[in-house]
Amino acid sequence: MAYSQTQKMESKVNIKVSAEKLYDVFCNKTHQIGNIFPEKVQSVEIYEGEWGNEGSIIAWKILFEGKAWVVKEVIESIDKKNHKITFKVIDGNLLEHYKSFKYILQVTPLEKGGVANLALEYEKQNDQTSDPHIMLKFSTDVLEKVNDSLSEGHN
């Protein structure tokens, strides 16, 4: 029997920098993440379109669980007013395990800093496929590292 159900996992990160600053890196300066966290992100390159534009295609080369992975994504939607961006995975290692996979990042400003909410929406290939807890931890680590780098002024 085919396994078909979209599921969701979320993580929240309290950030020290402004919501605008963190959102700007993930929306418009994604290529800088490889310089900020080279231990896990080897590079982020644009394949089609321009940084910060819906429909643009980017590829992350990451070290995930000790292996080199490629995650190719399309920027599915951008909501600048609400500091929200959605990346839909269109190719790469994740799609070996999931029929569909999205990263949704929304950064909410607070009086000091803000909160980054990261949601993973995914559909498993089958019921033996595990939930992406390790990918959520990986993605949360990247968020935290970018926040720390920005708060130290290394942007």
Could you identify the residue written with the tokens 């590079």? 43
Q: Which domains does the chain have, with CATH numbers?
A: 6-29+75-151 (3.30.530.20)
CB 15 within 8 A of CB 108: no
- Find the mean pLDDT for residues 18-41: 95
Number of neighbours of residue 19 by Cβ within 10 angstroms: 19
pLDDT, tens digit, for every residue of 53-80? 999 999 999 999 889 999 999 999 999 9
Would you state the pLDDT for residue 152?
Answer: 86
Q: How far is residue 120's CA from residue 55's CA, in Å, rounded to a whole number?
A: 19
CA triplet 36, 37, 39: central angle to 5 degrees? Answer: 150
Q: How far is residue 99's CA from residue 76's CA, in Å, rounded to a whole number?
A: 17
* Residue 127 binned pLDDT confidence (cut-offs 50, 70, 90): confident
